[in-house]
Amino acid sequence: MIQTSPSFPDWHGTTILAVRKDGRTVIAGDGQVSMGATIVKGAARKVRTLAGGKVLAGFAGATADAFTLIERLEAKLEQYPDQLARACVDLAKDWRTDRYLRRLEAMLLVADKDAIFTVTGVGDVLEPEYGVAAVGSGGNYALAAARALIDNTDMDAEAVARRAMAIAADICVYTNGNLTVEILGGGRA
């Protein structure tokens, strides 16, 4: 049986990647669900659209915990329409201070047409410097690949995300190539 480490976050079982380029925002997530060394599902959907299609969210960690957090985020987005940063900060504050919520073990990548945020249960709301963010066990592989591709190729945001996720799936045993990809924004800005 796998024990959850108190050194949150230390996830094994997913890769979520967000990429912003040329006016487009993409969040891609793999479909693998692992229980220890066993793959129990290969086509899970870990990326969602929120706020009437204006916001994308992907999650890593305990699925039920992530769904709870996404529901809370949706409520914050209703409370603060078109204010993603404020909704994320408010969620992180609640997550850190509420006795029930602080036990939840998940991480969120959240994006709209203008920004990407990583939201954690330790109170972090981080906006990436280079228009790329990733979470999960394969997150560092996908992040490195996307950072290399985003400025050094003519690939659009979706192509960068798909290629970076393929690289992560080739390296991380907890990541597969069965992707869910959600996109915001039109052509080149």
Cα(102)–Cα(52) distance, rounded to whole angstroms?
28
| Alpha-carbon separation of residue 138 from 4, 131, 158, 184 (angstroms) | 18, 18, 18, 23
Annotated active-site residue 118? The verdict is no
Instruction: Pull the structure tokens for residue 95.
Output: 């997550």
Question: Active-site residue among 14, 25, 118, 120?
Answer: 14
Catalytic residue numbers, as ranges: 14
